Chains A and B, each alone.
Chain A
């Protein structure tokens, strides 16, 4: 689906590229695996909701190369992430960081689950207790009258 944009980009400018090509990959399999994991978390900025690992866009290729260069230079995963975010902003992260700005995003589903669950349990408790409340004086008298 997001391919359309990529494809449109091709039409305007460049030759069709291929997402992650053999020559981009690092020799060290452990390092390459880390690069793949990081790539899956980064957004291709010119695509529609697509990671740079999946994307065929030239910009995604640049980012993939950048990630691999940084990893080869001995940086840790989080350092590489920070480096990319510093250059391209939060928009590049497919998993938004937990910050005041994203509190609603991360919190809403779980907050609603907790509140609705708690409300249901409380209502249930009230509902169960209700029939067990003792009869009032009036009711007792009414009952006696009825039984007589």
Chain B
């Protein structure tokens, strides 16, 4: 009998051939005007998805059934692992995660093939061909350097298990979300390259690109938030963002994707910023590739870099050079032929979006330089330096601050020619409220530096500004409430989505400012029965006992959280030792309220029967992830807008694509 793993392996190799076909045939077809060849891309994209899905399913099957004749399963799984982590183990390693990468790529490709019925045939053919070329490169990478279907004979009886700190629900779904974001940007990239080949970018083009970019942006937002949430409660230092190179690798595409989501609006509505938007589309996906390279090549050593293998690094670097170099060369060659259009005054909605793009891109540049400069310096001079959080606080911070201040203002400026005075006048209530919040914080917070009132005022400004935006659009309190309600329902969803996403940003900023300024940290040694104050709470160490899990054992400590005499919660903080690796991990005891968390980590035993403890009160910390979720919902509202569903993406009749010779 043929084993399932071999079927998967076979499907994977077939997919390479199909990707080559999907790349070459529709591209030539579009150049020659051959309709049949152009249509071939559609079936190729669907076939590609089917084949990669078979391969992926075969690998999942091997993991779930613990088929230890597959080397990848031996190295990364174990029979005692819970089912969820057997499945998430598929992408918890280098080979499997690359297979997930191409699976998502094929999903997006098939989505363009199936739902792109309203795209001009040539554009669809070219987009699918570019998608095919990306798929081809990464499938070759998998088959040649990172094949997950390599077999061992004789198969061992037991596997090595998955890294315990990856055995966590949030982290199980972190990679699929993050990859959906990274790879989703390939659609914008493919559209940009296709537009450069065609020599034409118009409002209809932007109307196709924007929803795809928005989808990618939403996935990236959630993926990054999940990773941050995981590091907050799993790593046990109470931090949520460490400016780690791997985190930066995901932040950079997010920043540029955010810029792209905004600039695509300008192309769609005003037919301006076309060349810039094409460049951003290329940059966004290029940064996704850079991120993949940084994480996968082993250039950075961390838990993400499973592949410490120079051959793989060299291969990804080659992919990077071909796609980034190739697309930028094409851009330099063809972009001048894209006609600029849509003049606008500096003070206008367009102007504010240009400034948004400038600041987001420079913020991304700061992250880029900070992440790669140590590598570059060491390669060139041999000197080793470190670039840590203080650098990013000093560069990223001041660049992002004016951006945050501009967000509510931009939304109130009219297209083409805005009136800054009028915008401020309409925002005066939001401004007063925000300053009020700043003043209250200033009055209450005796020890806080200037950052506290300013930061909170900025957060409030974002939230109130978003509310003011909707209030103005619905003429709230100027007309009867029922009329306002009807207007709200009648508003385009994307207008509501914008306000919601901006408010989410404000919530996120509030969380970041609060935790960085008002965190309470207590480091003590406690004996069973002893208590310590943590902020306004009293935490008592009740005692500890042994702990046994499916694939780990350890100690579990019990704690009570009281405020005054009222018992609020009983917490358990664990120290686990995982089989078979023997690796220790901590599980944080967490008491969550809307206004902050009590966070308890057990340390080691110290002299005299006491145990070292680290406890925090993290005020408003959940605002960070809540803000990210609200931003995601804003994106969701925006994408459900009518104009993306109803007959919108039709190019002006009679206008033939202008060949840019």
A, B in one complex: yes
B324 at the interface (CB under 8 A from A): no
Task: With both chains docked as a complex, state the minimum distance between the C-beta of B162 and any C-beta of chain A, in angstroms.
Answer: 13
| A14-34 near B? 1/0 per residue, CB < 8 Å | 011111111101000000000
CA distance A102 to B373 in the complex (A): 9
> Is A19 touching B237 in the complex (CB atoms < 8 A)?
yes
> Is B165 touching A90 in the complex (CB atoms < 8 A)?
no
B604 at the interface (CB under 8 A from A): yes
B406 at the interface (CB under 8 A from A): no
What chain B residues lie within 8 Å of A51 (beta carbons)? 388-389
CA distance A121 to B346 in the complex (A): 8
A134 at the interface (CB under 8 A from B): no
Inter-chain CB contacts under 8 Å: number: 140
> Is A109 touching B369 in the complex (CB atoms < 8 A)?
yes
Query: Who on chain B is nearest to A113 by CB?
Result: B362
CA distance A2 to B319 in the complex (A): 27
> Is A1 touching B303 in the complex (CB atoms < 8 A)?
yes
A84 at the interface (CB under 8 A from B): no
B513-547: which residues lie under 8 A (CB-CB) from chain A?
523-525
| A32-62 near B? 1/0 per residue, CB < 8 Å | 0000000011010000111100100000000
B65 at the interface (CB under 8 A from A): no
- Quick check: which of B19-27, B218-226, B238-246, B256-264 contacts chain A, the rest being far away? B238-246
What chain B residues lie within 8 Å of A95 (beta carbons)? 388, 390-391, 394
B603 at the interface (CB under 8 A from A): yes
What chain A residues lie within 8 Å of B157 (beta carbons)? none
Task: With both chains docked as a complex, state the minimum distance between the C-beta of B187 and any C-beta of chain A, in angstroms.
Answer: 27
What chain B residues lie within 8 Å of A7 (beta carbons)? 165, 583-584
Query: Who on chain A is nearest to B237 by CB?
Result: A54
> Is A91 touching B377 in the complex (CB atoms < 8 A)?
no
A92 at the interface (CB under 8 A from B): yes
> Is B386 touching A48 in the complex (CB atoms < 8 A)?
no
> Is B386 touching A1 in the complex (CB atoms < 8 A)?
no
> Is A54 touching B239 in the complex (CB atoms < 8 A)?
yes
Given the known A-B contacts A1-B302, A4-B302, A18-B612, are A11 and B583 also in contact in the complex, defined by CB atoms under 8 Å? yes
Query: Who on chain A is nearest to B345 by CB?
Result: A128
> Is B358 touching A49 in the complex (CB atoms < 8 A)?
no
What chain A residues lie within 8 Å of B153 (beta carbons)? none
> Is B373 touching A21 in the complex (CB atoms < 8 A)?
no
> Is A20 touching B523 in the complex (CB atoms < 8 A)?
yes
> Is A22 touching B523 in the complex (CB atoms < 8 A)?
yes
What chain A residues lie within 8 Å of B401 (beta carbons)? none
> Is A23 touching B362 in the complex (CB atoms < 8 A)?
no
Contact check: which of A5, A20, A21, A101 meets B377 at CB < 8 Å?
A101
Contact check: which of B369, B388, B581 meets A104 at CB < 8 Å?
B369
B444 at the interface (CB under 8 A from A): no
> Is A112 touching B362 in the complex (CB atoms < 8 A)?
yes
B278-333: which residues lie under 8 A (CB-CB) from chain A?
300-304
Residue of A1, A43, A102, A109 contacting most chain B CB atoms (<10 Å) = A1
> Is B604 touching A104 in the complex (CB atoms < 8 A)?
no
Given the known A-B contacts A2-B302, A43-B388, are A49 and B244 also in contact in the complex, defined by CB atoms under 8 Å? yes
Query: Who on chain B is nearest to A17 by CB?
Result: B604
What chain B residues lie within 8 Å of A112 (beta carbons)? 362, 365
Contact check: which of B354, B385, B399, B584 meets A102 at CB < 8 Å?
B385
Task: With both chains docked as a complex, state the minimum distance between the C-beta of A20 and any C-beta of chain B, in angstroms.
Answer: 6
A48-105: which residues lie under 8 A (CB-CB) from chain B?
48-51, 54, 89-96, 101-102, 104-105
A143 at the interface (CB under 8 A from B): no
Residue of B235, B385, B584, B603 contacting most chain A CB atoms (<10 Å) = B385
> Is B395 touching A96 in the complex (CB atoms < 8 A)?
no
Given the known A-B contacts A16-B584, A16-B604, A21-B612, are A105 and B387 also in contact in the complex, defined by CB atoms under 8 Å? yes
B637 at the interface (CB under 8 A from A): no
Query: Who on chain A is nearest to B304 by CB?
Result: A1
Residue of A20, A41, A113 contacting most chain B CB atoms (<10 Å) = A113
Task: With both chains docked as a complex, state the minimum distance between the C-beta of A62 and any C-beta of chain B, in angstroms.
Answer: 17
Contact check: which of A22, A93, A105, A120 meets B525 at CB < 8 Å?
A22
CA distance A74 to B386 in the complex (A): 28
What chain A residues lie within 8 Å of B303 (beta carbons)? 1-4
> Is B384 touching A18 in the complex (CB atoms < 8 A)?
no
Task: With both chains docked as a complex, state the minimum distance between the C-beta of A85 and any C-beta of chain B, in angstroms.
Answer: 11
What chain A residues lie within 8 Å of B582 (beta carbons)? 11
Query: Who on chain A is nearest to B351 by CB?
Result: A124
Task: With both chains docked as a complex, state the minimum distance between the C-beta of B227 and any C-beta of chain A, in angstroms.
Answer: 9
Task: With both chains docked as a complex, state the minimum distance between the C-beta of B291 and any C-beta of chain A, in angstroms.
Answer: 14
> Is A4 touching B343 in the complex (CB atoms < 8 A)?
no
B370 at the interface (CB under 8 A from A): yes
A108 at the interface (CB under 8 A from B): yes
Query: Who on chain B is nearest to A53 by CB?
Result: B237
> Is A96 touching B386 in the complex (CB atoms < 8 A)?
yes
CA distance A43 to B243 in the complex (A): 13
Residue of A16, A96, A109, A120 contacting most chain B CB atoms (<10 Å) = A109
Query: Who on chain B is nearest to A131 by CB?
Result: B343
> Is A94 touching B369 in the complex (CB atoms < 8 A)?
no
Task: With both chains docked as a complex, state the minimum distance between the C-beta of A47 and any C-beta of chain B, in angstroms.
Answer: 10
What chain A residues lie within 8 Å of B612 (beta carbons)? 18, 21-22
Query: Who on chain B is nearest to A4 by CB?
Result: B303
> Is B358 touching A120 in the complex (CB atoms < 8 A)?
yes
Query: Who on chain B is nearest to A124 by CB?
Result: B346
> Is A101 touching B358 in the complex (CB atoms < 8 A)?
no
What chain B residues lie within 8 Å of A90 (beta carbons)? 383-386
What chain B residues lie within 8 Å of A106 (beta carbons)? 395
Contact check: which of B244, B301, B370, B386 meets A91 at CB < 8 Å?
B386
Contact check: which of B242, B377, B603, B604 meets A50 at CB < 8 Å?
B242
Give the top 3 A-B pairs by smallest Cβ distance, nearest first.
Answer: A94-B388, A95-B390, A18-B603
Please give the residue numbers on chain A whose beta carbons come within 8 Å of chain B beta carbons, in ascending order.
1-5, 7, 10-11, 15-23, 25, 40-41, 43, 48-51, 54, 89-96, 101-102, 104-106, 108-110, 112-113, 116-117, 120-121, 124, 127
Question: 7 interchain pairs (CB within 8 A)?
Answer: A43-B388, A51-B389, A90-B386, A94-B386, A94-B388, A96-B386, A105-B373
> Given known contacts A21-B606, A109-B395, what 4 new A-B pairs fall within 8 Å (CB)?
A2-B302, A50-B242, A94-B391, A104-B369
Please give the residue numbers on chain B whose beta carbons come within 8 Å of chain A beta carbons, in ascending order.
163, 165, 231, 235, 237, 239, 242-247, 300-304, 343, 346, 354, 358-359, 362-363, 365-366, 369-370, 373, 377, 381, 383-391, 394-395, 399, 523-525, 581-584, 603-604, 606, 612, 614
